[in-house]
A and B are shown apart, each in its own frame.
Chain A
Amino acid sequence: MDESALIVEAQHGNLQAFNSLVLAFQDVLFNTALRILNDEDQAADAVQEAFISAFHALNSFRGGSFRAWLLRTVTNACYDELRRKKRRPTTPLEPETVDGDEIESPGWLADPHASPEESLEQAELEHAVQHCLENLPADFRAVVILADIQGLDYSEVAIAVHKPLGTVKSRLARARSHLRECLQGFRELLPAAFRLEEQSNV
């Protein structure tokens, strides 16, 4: 059954059809929530809340990109979570060494299928990107995550963040500019392949 048929079935209250959609989009939603919140448990909670509210509001979906519509629900859930975090700041429990120092590239970030060098590179990259993302305002962060990490086009991002196209363009440009400056400090830590890889793509 294709996506639109599943959506119609789910709109008629078919939970099984909706769960098929959940399985298809849960990774995208979880990655988005994880990049915005930088906390796996909170991201999982936000995704679960997003799917619950999406099921209840499914009849408000009027066509278009269902992925963007779902991403809007998870983005809102993440904003709510960020507001909660702002009201009640907490100290995350990062893994520590025996000396009590935080492990900056913990083992649970590694991809078990990658080689040690690749795992290290990916961990460094993820850490650098996540660090710079966290320094962005939440609105800019969501836009750049949706556009550059999740690969949504501008119109989908506009749906997901519920903002006009011009606002999306502006926020994306400013977010990229901030990230460019931030990532300058990590440039020596990142593999050279990342710097030149896209030069021929444009």
Chain B
Amino acid sequence: MTTPSSRDLEILSAYLDGQLSQSNRTRLETRIHADPALATALEELRQTRALLRRTPHRRAPRNFTLTPGMAGIRPPVPRLVPVLSWASAVAMLFFLFTLGVSLVGQLSFGSAAPMRAAAPKASSEGPLVAATMAPLGAAPATAAPATMPPVVAAPAPLAAEATAAPATMAPLAAAAPATMIPATAALGAGSSNPPPADQTVLPTATPEISIMSVPQAAPPGIARVLPAPPVPKAQHRQVNLWLFIWPGLAVILGALAVLAWGLNRRSFQRKNPRGRPPPI
């Protein structure tokens, strides 16, 4: 009596399931009758199979029916969603445009801002006497407040310094080069307080660019009459209005883009509640 080989066990297993051809079946039955080990192995395999078949069947603990969400059946999406999905790109364009407009506006109007602050009052009074002439000495300083007291804008800090300056400094200020004049004019835009007549504003060396260019050869202390810059009020209002409208549009479009993203995400979650199913 020998132990059946793995090949014999495979044949016995197939025989048990009726998977052998007629000739192989007859040959195996002859061997089984002759070899008790094969008969024993066949009996044990049969018992094993019987045990497995008697294993109790368990009912499913719940129903595994699919909901539309689990099956990935998408609910109808609002018609605006595909349109809104482009809103982010449009919002970005608006944003860039707004940024560009504001930068260009700053570059072109930024240095003229002092003049724009002065323009509304000065334009109604005709030619503008240069405000920079005020601090340039005693004689022009006395004349300047007379012609345009509200226009001349002396910088508050500088004015404060000027009040502390001794009177002997006045000639020095009068001798200051003309190239420094626009700097004081530009700095003076922030304040509308006219300087006192007896104040002498010391020109500083602040290298600020100004569209009001005073020729180098111009003698100090001579008042120059400049034409008022052509900045109509309506245009200012229009530019300011658009500077508010463009960012507003960008914000609205951005909000719509976020809304579209939220709607798309929600519909995706309904479609795939547990992520992507494994492939079969």
A contact residues vs B (CB 8 Å cutoff): 13, 15, 18-19, 22-23, 26-27, 29-31, 34-35, 40, 44, 47-49, 51-57, 60, 72-73, 76-77, 80, 111, 122, 125-126, 128-129, 144, 147-149, 151, 154, 169-170, 172-174, 176-177, 179-180, 183, 190, 194-195, 197-199, 201-202
Q: From known contacts A44-B62, A52-B277, A173-B13, infer whether A129 and B52 are also in contact, taking CB-CB under 8 Å.
A: yes
Would you call B56 and A57 a contact (CB within 8 A)?
no
Would you call B6 and A72 a contact (CB within 8 A)?
no
Does B31 touch A at the CB level, under 8 Å?
no
Give the residues in chain A near B83, CB-CB below 8 Å: none
Segment 1-57 of B: residues with Cβ below 8 Å from A: 6, 9-10, 12-14, 16-17, 19, 43-57
Most chain A C-beta atoms within 10 Å of own C-beta, residue among B43, B71, B277: B277
Does B279 touch A at the CB level, under 8 Å?
yes
Give the residues in chain B near A73, CB-CB below 8 Å: 280
Q: List 15 A-B contacts (CB under 8 A).
A: A15-B71, A19-B66, A22-B64, A49-B274, A52-B71, A52-B274, A56-B277, A57-B279, A80-B278, A125-B54, A169-B19, A176-B49, A197-B54, A198-B50, A202-B16
The total of interchain contacts (Cβ-Cβ below 8 angstroms) comes to 146
Task: Classify the interface of chain A: helix, strand, loop or mixed.
Answer: helix
Does B70 touch A at the CB level, under 8 Å?
yes
Give the residues in chain A near B53, CB-CB below 8 Å: 148-149, 151, 198
Interface residue from B55, B63, B66 paired with A15 (Cβ < 8 Å): B66
Q: How far is the CA of A55 from the CA of B43 in the complex (A)?
A: 43
Q: How far is the CA of A55 from the CA of B61 in the complex (A)?
A: 21
What 9 new A-B contacts, CB under 8 Å, besides A15-B68, A31-B58? A18-B71, A19-B65, A47-B60, A49-B278, A53-B277, A53-B278, A54-B280, A56-B71, A173-B13
For the complex formed, measure the closest distance between the CB of A24 and the CB atoms of chain B, giving whole angstroms: 11
Give the residues in chain B near A52, CB-CB below 8 Å: 66, 70-71, 274, 277
Give the residues in chain A near B233, CB-CB below 8 Å: none
Contact bitstring B58-85, A, C-beta under 8 A = 1, else 0: 1111111110101111000000000000
Would you call B17 and A30 a contact (CB within 8 A)?
no
